[in-house]
Structure 1
Amino acid sequence: MDISKLKAIDVHVHAEVSCHDPEDPVMGEFFDAASAYFKAPRERPKMPEIIELYREEQIAFCMFTVDAETGMGAKRVSNYEIAELAADNLDIMIPFASIDPHKGKYGAREARDLVENYGVKGFKFHGIAQNAHPADRMAYPIYEVINEYKLPVIFHTGHSGMGTGMRGGGGMRLKYGRPMLIDDVAVDFPDMKIILAHPSWPWVDESLSMALHKENVFIDLSGWSPKYFMPQIIQYANTQLKHKMMFGSDFPLIHPMKWLKAAQEVGFKEEVLPLIMKDNAARVLGLS
């Protein structure tokens, strides 16, 4: 990957449907609700379509599924499918994996295989969808593998668009999106680069505090248009956390170019925007 040719690096892109299998009906119900919430198209693009979109825009991206087979009862998109597709598109695509924390030691075996044999460069966890406290010891065997290889891991934080408006929130418990629940993980696994996904509303100040306090904690700004960011996000991005914040879109729910356009208009300093758009992610992902 030649980062000098890239406009940006999007650290938060979802693979929501397989190239080989039909859409899971359980996930379909959540996609319906999420599309209504985000005012996004209902049809989910296949991975090759996403790759071509990002290549055309000269934006590299981290792609992952969310393995919530226990918490949601939905079949995941295969981590191996994502990794194999990335192997043919390394100029633009960075493969991440997601493993249900409930899989414990067996999940750790998959994590190691994905890193050693399939080139996976990071991992994604979503405590709300996975119905799991981020610091539950059942996940620690998986974290131990990630920590050993000093890889980045993205944790969902804050409100969840998935489940919003559904009866009982689709069974999802927002408490597992509280950023401070991840603080123990940051302490116990100091070689794991932790990226707190989204502005973390309604707990945004917890994420800012953790990124300020912990050398291995970062923030991606995905899932919200920058025009809706809380003022303290802009304040800290321009000052103490200018090397800790990264661009993420949450595509396909938010288009990357729409996010980047809005980011030009919300008060980020001119010298800070390149850090957010590309440079910080390149460093955290080990690309520079």
Structure 2
Amino acid sequence: MIDAHIHVVPPQIPGAGSLAPILRSPAERVAAVVRQEMQNAGMTRAFAMGEWRITADDPLGINRTLMVADKVPGLSAIGIMDPMKDKDDHEHFRRVREVMAAGRVVALKAYLGYLHYNPSHLTYRRYYEIAEQYDVPVFFHTGDTYSPYAKLKYAHPLGVDDVAVDHPQVRFVMAHLGNPWTVDAAEVIYKNVNVWADLSGLVVGEAEDLIYDEVHEDLADVIDRVHKAIRYCGRPNRFLYGTDWPLVPMAAYRDFIAAMVPAEMHELVFRENAERLFRVK
């Protein structure tokens, strides 16, 4: 199984904090915990976000993520796009291409909402061109945010439609299925064959928070929204499993999604769709 969305370093985005204390630990400690979590959940691959800390020697914010990945078999890095860079900053984009050419970045990500830029921003479009050149997908944070400083209008999934149309050769992924705008996200998937969604971060908390009972009736709303989205778009090959770890335990979230997603979609959601998206050989 493949977890398409985890964090192994603090994202360094406004208002989000470190997500969990473990991410402030040394790389060796984080790696040990991630290895155990992946083993407990039966994950053979996982894709970890970088951090929005862009420097000349780390133009995609992945250096600390790679320090952890070096110690975790099957873990790969997702680079962070910085919309605050000038679209004509040729030196920055030259360094980005150098990193991409090294083959250690499997995708790029934009923190929509946390950073107040639309997906169609001209600087983001420079990154999409690079994603197409190196045949890697582009992730967007969509939906609810973990920060009071975020602006939700930038994180609405309908913004992804613009760039999906303008960049048909790029594969785009809406993280969190745009929750709570899951049907809007489903429409974007239905309309555009180059758009996926991951099911990460629909719920956060401990294992006991992922059990649907009278104490956790709010889970029923999440489950209902996801069911409607899956039925609406009719594209079971466009949904990816992800956790948003460390916001949830990997094994407990696996069970939560397995109970939510129809059994006939399990192979697609937990493995096959990610293999196609990331060109896993």
Q: Which residue of 2 aligns with 1:244?
A: 238
Structure 1 residues 110 and 85, CA, compared in 2 at 3 Å: closer, same or farther? farther
Matches within 5 A, 1:85-96: 85-86=68-69, 89=72, 91-96=73-78
Q: Secondary structure at the match of 1:127?
A: coil
Shift of 1:120: 1.0
Q: Secondary structure at the match of 2:47?
A: strand
Counterpart residue identity of residue 148, structure 1? Q
Could you state the TM-score of these two structures normalised by the residue count of structure 2? 0.79
Alpha-carbon RMSD across the aligned residues, in angstroms, is 2.9
Shift of 1:54: 4.3
1-structure distance, mates of 2:182, 2:74: 31
Unmatched tracts of structure 2, length 5 or more = 204-209, 211-218
1-structure distance, mates of 2:106, 2:60: 17
Question: Is residue 97 of structure 1 aligned with residue 79 of structure 2?
Answer: yes
Shift of 1:210: 0.9
Q: Secondary structure at the match of 1:212?
A: helix
2-structure distance, mates of 1:77, 1:215: 27
Counterpart residue identity of residue 257, structure 2? A
Q: Which residue of 1 aligns with 2:176?
A: 198
Q: Which residue of 1 aligns with 2:113?
A: 128
Contact 1:148–1:191 (CA<8 Å) still a contact in 2? no
Counterpart residue identity of residue 92, structure 1? G
Question: Is residue 180 of structure 1 aligned with residue 163 of structure 2?
Answer: no
Contact 1:80–1:118 (CA<8 Å) still a contact in 2? no
Structure 1 residues 265 and 177, CA, compared in 2 at 3 Å: closer, same or farther? same
2-structure distance, mates of 1:68, 1:78: 5
Identity of aligned residues (%): 21
Query: CA-to-partner distance for each residue in 1:88-137, whole Å, 9 max, x for gaps?
Result: 64x41122111212123454333312210252111111122222111111
Could you state the TM-score of these two structures normalised by the residue count of structure 1? 0.77
Structure 1 residues 145 and 31, CA, compared in 2 at 3 Å: closer, same or farther? same
Structure 1 residues 51 and 230, CA, compared in 2 at 3 Å: closer, same or farther? closer
Q: Secondary structure at the match of 1:129?
A: coil
Contact 2:59–2:96 (CA<8 Å) still a contact in 1? no
Q: Secondary structure at the match of 1:121?
A: strand
| Stretch moving more, 234-243 or 133-142 | 234-243
